[in-house]
Amino acid sequence: MRARRIEFGAGIAACALSVLAFAFLVFAPIVPICTVAAAQTCPAHAVRYESLAQAPSGISTWLFVLAMLALSLAGGVGAIVEARTGQRLAAIPLWAATVLVFAGCALAAGGAGLIYLPSVLALGLAAYASILSRLSARNRRATENDHTSE
């Protein structure tokens, strides 16, 4: 039962951290913009920072940020549902989202992927707790079967 509580808490944390990461990416001034038209590099005095909403960013950036948010939320909700109901099918979105969000963080580690790292860690904890609860339930059933066959 302790593993289910950990999974539940980590699922809530993953949802909250992913929403906070999305808000940070959209509203915090973290995108460097060069104010002068330089040929090769931008001088240090000409760099200013804008938020993702203000910066001229492409559709691929927005798709990545929204996909990371959606996957993190799906994994967190999967963890919450599995922890509360014990449904085996709820583990599929949890495990799939954990792998996909981790891959997204690894691919974009120099940029927006790093911001979603706390959410990935919470999803990883929830997935680990999910596996532990399944193993302990399996061991409990095996022990009960041994005692009833004797």
Per-residue pLDDT tens digits for 77-105: 999 999 998 888 888 999 999 999 999 99
Closest CA to 112 of 51, 54, 38: 51
In one letter, which amino acid is 112? A
Domain ranges of the chain: 2-28+58-149
**C-beta of residue 78 within 8 angstroms of C-beta of residue 91:** yes
Per-residue pLDDT tens digits for 105-142: 999 887 778 888 999 999 999 999 998 888 876 666 66
- pTM for this entry: 0.81
**C-beta of residue 108 within 8 angstroms of C-beta of residue 21:** no
C-alpha 52/C-alpha 60 separation (Å) is: 12
